[in-house]
Chains A and B, each alone.
Chain A
Amino acid sequence: MDISRRKFLQIGAVASGSVVCAGVKPASARDLREPNPEWLGMLNDTTRCIGCKACQVACKKENKLPMESTLNESANVGRDVYDAPRGLSERTYTLIKMQQDEENGKTTFVKTQCMHCSEPACASACIVGALKKQENGAVAYDSGLCMGCRYCMVACPFNVPQFEWQNAIPSIKKCTLCRETKLKEGKPTACSSVCPAGAISFGKRSDLIKLARKRIEKDPELYQDHIYGEKEVGGTGVLYLARPKMQFASLGLPAFKYRTVAGLTESIQHRIFQYFIPPIAVYSVLGGIMYRNQSRKKNGGEEGGSHE
């Protein structure tokens, strides 16, 4: 055959080279978008939480979520009981967890729920755009659009989206920021409005950051000088304050970097499909090779032109 081994390698190198250049550029290529100051969110002050779980109950009531019986309480008590599941689930959008600091051994109550990220990884991952960041700052889920692929669960660094494993037709479930119920009426979220300790503040994200700063400045003994979620994973709508020396990681809030989670995948996707240049380039290169080979075959005559 007429393509030498060297040619074959050359062509291969060009083809794969173009794919490489197109696909694998540093992740830093994508700029961080500034969080919108108008977005609504919540500030969870872990120094104030008393672990009463009123927020958990309010959330269940607001969202009409069924009760969970992890310890068979319903069988023992004769009715369902609001209990304490170990983690978020399709029936529990928010949960108070007691966390222990690895270094000083102190325990703290920490509220978990959807963080309503500024650049949600779930929304970036969703194949049909069923998860979207809303104007008001909530990351909303549209069960009618959803295909149930669960890629959002893979993408979320906080493991928030939950799947209805027991339903024949399952949906994704997570905190809605009371978007359809409370926010619509201009009211704060259910969990924040019932907190007896003032541990959950609701408001505009920009105001919450100001509030958090003020608390830190006013009482530097009580707080450490870090607002979790201000910058982590590109910023989140739910922010946290903690006592000094308390590692956020030990509060179940991992030490995530400041860049967005989906930065790498998005820049790779973007580059592979930028104006469709890479696929078209590969197509043309392959087309050229094929054309050359076929015309040589023709010129070489019917008998044996195609054999090495």
Chain B
Amino acid sequence: MNKAAPLQHNFFTPNVWLLIFFMGSGAVFAFFRFFYGFGSITNLNAAYPFGIWIAFDVACGVALAAGGFTTAAIVEIFGRDKYHALVRPAILTAFIGYFLVGLAVFFDLGKYYNIWHALVYWNGTSVLFEVAWCVMLYLTVLGIENIPAVVEQFKGKVNLPGQMASFNKPSEWLLGKADNILNRTMAFFVIAGVVLSFGHQSSLGTMMLIAPYKLHDLWYTPLSPLLFLTSAVSVGLPMVIFEASLATVLFKRKPETELLADIAKYIPLFLGTYLLLRIGDLAYRGVLAQAFDGSVQGNSFLVEFALFAVPYFMLKRRKIRRDALKLFLCAFSVILGVVLNRFNVFLIGMDMGPEFNYFPSVGEFAVTFAFLAFGVFLYRLGVNYLPILEEQ
């Protein structure tokens, strides 16, 4: 098994400057949101209180961070050690993803300074209550799961310059202690991470079920929590493949096609389960016909379904899995499917009556792009200075 090592590339490439540009423009709009109210930059209204910041930054953010817990489960719990190279990048991405979800929630809360209230004032009937707790706990767990990379990089090498030198010893002691404790307790956190993911991936699916008269029949189902969970599990590996493929191109690394093609064999298994549940549920509730009524919602459902079904049939074939480009496209299709599904549940499938409409404003897009750029920026920072990707 190869060792992971920091890339140590030159950090400020033109790509990174582009990311900084996006982050900057998002920050400008964020300024208005914080000092002049939501009305100054968003298209949110009385009937659409949740916009793209919740639908994409939070709902999709959580789903797309599923690579973390699925790879951790496959490798650490089910013992498939040969995929070990994929764990650290997946865990780092999940950590960044959840960190950004937290940040996005902070942006979207009217009284953001009360965000800590979720810790103190409990309302057990609220789905959000559970989502909030799981996100907080899982973010902590992900933080802990990332510590070994930090320890590996700096243990025995702490050498702060000048006045800070007095912190060298305590830092070393802390790193040693963390290494020691984590070696013995990591299993606990790995399983906790998976259980917490199960918990709130599914409870995000429960969220919009509080609006039976607003959410379209195609998505209003008691099975929604399970569908959210299984679709999140399905998108876990495609996210890993997606990122690894991009990293190969952008960081000019040797392709990991063998490994990715191999682990991709699990995807049809997960996707199949999801599709079976989805179709079964629609048929059982007798609403399948609504998918073909030509409405925006019906068509949106059909696209969503195709984005899941096509890669399911494609990835069953070994030949396609071994083709780097086709594998990438299949993975991307699943990702788009999950994104569209979350949009359908949170926005497109929500009908508040003919008087109201919502389409995200430029400002909302800018802030969302800023979050995306910030995520890529943090990932780049992580792999550049910490042992995340394996040496080649």
Binding site for B on A (CB under 8 A): 1-3, 8-9, 16, 19-20, 23-27, 86-89, 121, 123-130, 145-151, 153-155, 157, 159, 162-171, 254, 256-257, 261-262, 264-266, 268-269, 272-273, 279, 282-283, 286-287, 289-290, 293-294, 296-297, 306-308
Residues in A neighbouring B108, C-beta threshold 8 A: 149
A27 to B221, CA, bound (A): 11
Residues in B neighbouring A159, C-beta threshold 8 A: 46-47, 352
A59 to B88, CA, bound (A): 59
The total of chain B residues at the interface (CB under 8 A) is: 72
Residues in B neighbouring A168, C-beta threshold 8 A: 34-37
A283, closest chain B residue (CB):
B195
Interface residues as binary, B33-59 with A (CB distance below 8 Å gives 1, 0 otherwise): 011111110101111011000000000
- B118 pairs with A127, CB closer than 8 A: yes
A200 to B29, CA, bound (A): 45
- B222 pairs with A167, CB closer than 8 A: no
A297 to B114, CA, bound (A): 48
Residues in B neighbouring A290, C-beta threshold 8 A: 76-77, 79, 187, 190-191
Residues in B neighbouring A297, C-beta threshold 8 A: 79, 81
- A170 pairs with B111, CB closer than 8 A: yes
**Chain B contact residues: helix, strand, loop or mixed:** helix
Partner of A166, one of B37, B114, B190, B203: B37
B76, closest chain A residue (CB):
A290
A170 to B78, CA, bound (A): 48
Given A165-B37, A265-B209: A282 and B198 interface contact (C-beta under 8 Å) = yes
Residues in B neighbouring A268, C-beta threshold 8 A: 206, 209, 222, 225
B71 within 8 A of A: no
- B38 pairs with A125, CB closer than 8 A: no
- B38 pairs with A165, CB closer than 8 A: yes
Residues in B neighbouring A121, C-beta threshold 8 A: 210
Residues in A neighbouring B190, C-beta threshold 8 A: 290
Residues in A neighbouring B350, C-beta threshold 8 A: 154
B192 within 8 A of A: yes
- A124 pairs with B125, CB closer than 8 A: yes
**Closest Cβ of chain A: how far from B154's Cβ, in Å?**
28
Given A1-B79, A307-B81: A283 and B111 interface contact (C-beta under 8 Å) = no
Q: Among the listed stretches B126-134, B143-151, B251-259, B311-319, which one makes contact with chain A, having 4 or more residues with CB under 8 Å of it?
A: B126-134
